[in-house]
Amino acid sequence: GVFLSYSVCTNNFPGVMKGIIDKYAQLHSEHEENCNETAHWYAVDTCASLLSTAAWQSGHPALCKIPCKKKTKSIENNQSQLSKGIIDILVHISNETELWIEAKKPNDCFDVSENSENPASQAKISRCFWSAYESSFQKKLETRNKDCKTISIVFCSFSLRPEYYQGADALPRRQARAQHVNLVLNKVILEDPKSSFCASYFDVTEKTISDELDNRPFGFAVLGHFGDVQL
pLDDT tens column, 108-125: 899 999 999 889 999 999
Residue 83 has pLDDT above 80, yes or no: no
Residue 176 has pLDDT above 90, yes or no: yes
Mean pLDDT for the stretch of residues 68-73? 60
Residue 72 has pLDDT above 90, yes or no: no
Report how far residue 80's alpha carbon sits from residue 7's, in angstroms, rounded to the nearest whole number. 46
Please give the sequence-ordered ranges of beta strands (E in DSSP) within the chain, or none if there are none. 8-11, 62-73, 80-92, 98-104, 110-111, 139-140, 148-160, 196-202, 216-225
96 or 19, which is more confident: 19
Residue 93 has pLDDT above 70, yes or no: yes
Report how far residue 87's alpha carbon sits from residue 121's, in angstroms, rounded to the nearest whole number. 28
- Using the 8-state DSSP alphabet, how is residue 77 labeled? T
63 or 138, which is more confident: 63
Mean pLDDT for the stretch of residues 35-61? 95
Positive or negative CA dihedral for 150, 146, 95, 70? negative
74 or 189, which is more confident: 189
pTM above 0.75, yes or no: yes
Given pLDDT bands bounded at 50, 70 and 90, which one contains residue 6?
confident
Sequence-distant (6+) residues with CB within 8 A of 223 are 125, 129, 153, 154, 156, 185, 188, 189, 196, 197, 198
Positive or negative CA dihedral for 130, 131, 133, 134? positive
Given pLDDT bands bounded at 50, 70 and 90, which one contains residue 71?
low
Mapping DSSP to helix (H, G, I), strand (E, B) and coil, where does residue 190 land? coil
Q: Give yes or no for a contact between 86 and 68, defined as CB atoms under 8 angstroms apart.
A: yes
Residue 148 is predicted with a pLDDT of 81
Cα–Cα nearest to 128, from 221, 50, 194: 221
Q: Give yes or no for a contact between 27 and 200, defined as CB atoms under 8 angstroms apart.
A: no
Give the gyration radius of the chain's Cα atoms: 18
Residue 168 is predicted with a pLDDT of 93
Q: Give yes or no for a contact between 105 and 135, defined as CB atoms under 8 angstroms apart.
A: no
Residue 157 has pLDDT above 70, yes or no: yes
